[in-house]
Amino acid sequence: MKRIAYFQFCPVLADPTANRAIVAGTLEGVEADLIVLPELAFTGYSMTDRKTASALAEDPANSPSLELLTGLCRSGDYHIVAGFTERAGDKLYNSAVLVGPGGLVGMYRKIHLFGFESELFDPGPEPPAVYDIGGLNVGMMVCFDWFFPETARLLALSGTDVIAHPSNLVLDWCQKSMVTRCLENNLFAVTANRYGSEARGGKELTFTGGSQITAPRGKILVSAGSAADALEIIEIDPDTARDKNVTAVNHLLDDRKPKLYKGLM
């Protein structure tokens, strides 16, 4: 059995120090195996322009946020997935990092950028990968990636047990659709959303909270309110995500017909 969790909070825009304090203050002493934080957890979302984003972004090789997460993972003996504003040379990515007691384990750079994100970030150049953290296979996708069934499908085909899904959702579609994502792929998903509002270019963006842990067969295990901090830890059996049989003779991956799917490419 493994304990998977989300921590929903309201990051302070452009104040990584404050956000690290929020994360440290909540995650110290938590007993879990995997804790998922929202998208862009340390910078907030509505950065004015690429230059501002670049100044706030961190290089994973020299990152106070990764140092904090590593320290937390070491003392708590758990792993964290966090949305991460990444600078890599002259590239900027809306990334998710998987961190454990030994430091950075893996990374995913958001493929499907939403709205003005493409003014700030480069699209991720690689499909999501899967990482085994002590018997739990963790894949990552970020927020709007959920809209594209291809993302979760790629993760399922790579053996993901749990999709860690840092998010900054502003629409109310995702949570219902994660039921379908977890049904069609028979896996767990931890959608860690943020709440609160930010202004950018005279427009107010309100994030919808409602973080959710969804299980194989599309069962919602827990969900958070729309406007408050929420830390929820759920015990799961990863094996239930590895049995891909829908019926005695139907297997949701083996029954696929890739030769007929050429139109997808």
Where on the chain is the footprint of a copy of itself (CB under 8 A)?
111-112, 114-116, 118, 123, 125-127, 144, 147-150, 153-154, 157-158, 173, 176-177, 179-181, 183-184, 218, 246-250, 252, 255-258, 260-265
C-beta separation of 93 from 121 below 8 A: yes
> Which is nearer to a copy of itself, 61 or 248 (by Cβ)?
248
> Which is nearer to a copy of itself, 17 or 206 (by Cβ)?
206
> Which is nearer to a copy of itself, 61 or 264 (by Cβ)?
264
> Which is nearer to a copy of itself, 17 or 250 (by Cβ)?
250
Active site residue 143: yes
Provide, rounded to whole angstroms, the least separation between the CB of residue 169 and a copy of itself: 13
Provide, rounded to whole angstroms, the least separation between the CB of residue 129 and a copy of itself: 10
Strands 195-200 and 188-192: unpaired
Sign, CA torsion 55/58/61/62: positive
Report CA dihedral (195, 109, 52, 66) to the nearest 10 degrees: 80
Among candidate residues 10, 73, 143, 182, the one labeled active-site is 143
189, burial (CB in 10 Å: exposed 0-12, middle 13-18, buried 19+): buried
Can you give the length of the chain in residues?
265
Provide, rounded to whole angstroms, the least separation between the CB of residue 12 and a copy of itself: 25
Token output for 149: 């069934």
Active site residue 91: no
Active site residue 182: no
Provide, rounded to whole angstroms, the least separation between the CB of residue 45 and a copy of itself: 15
Beta strands in 40-161 (DSSP E): 79-88, 91-100, 103-109, 130-132, 137-140
Among candidate residues 2, 10, 39, 86, the one labeled active-site is 39
Among candidate residues 2, 73, 110, 232, the one labeled active-site is 110
Provide, rounded to whole angstroms, the least separation between the CB of residue 179 and a copy of itself: 7
> Which is nearer to a copy of itself, 50 or 74 (by Cβ)?
50
User: In this structure, which long-range contacts are made by residues 232-235, counting pairs with CB atoms below 8 Å and at least 24 apart in sequence?
Assistant: 232/5, 232/6, 233/3, 233/4, 233/5, 233/30, 233/31, 233/32, 234/3, 234/4, 234/5, 235/1, 235/2, 235/3
Write out the catalytic residue numbers.
39, 110, 143
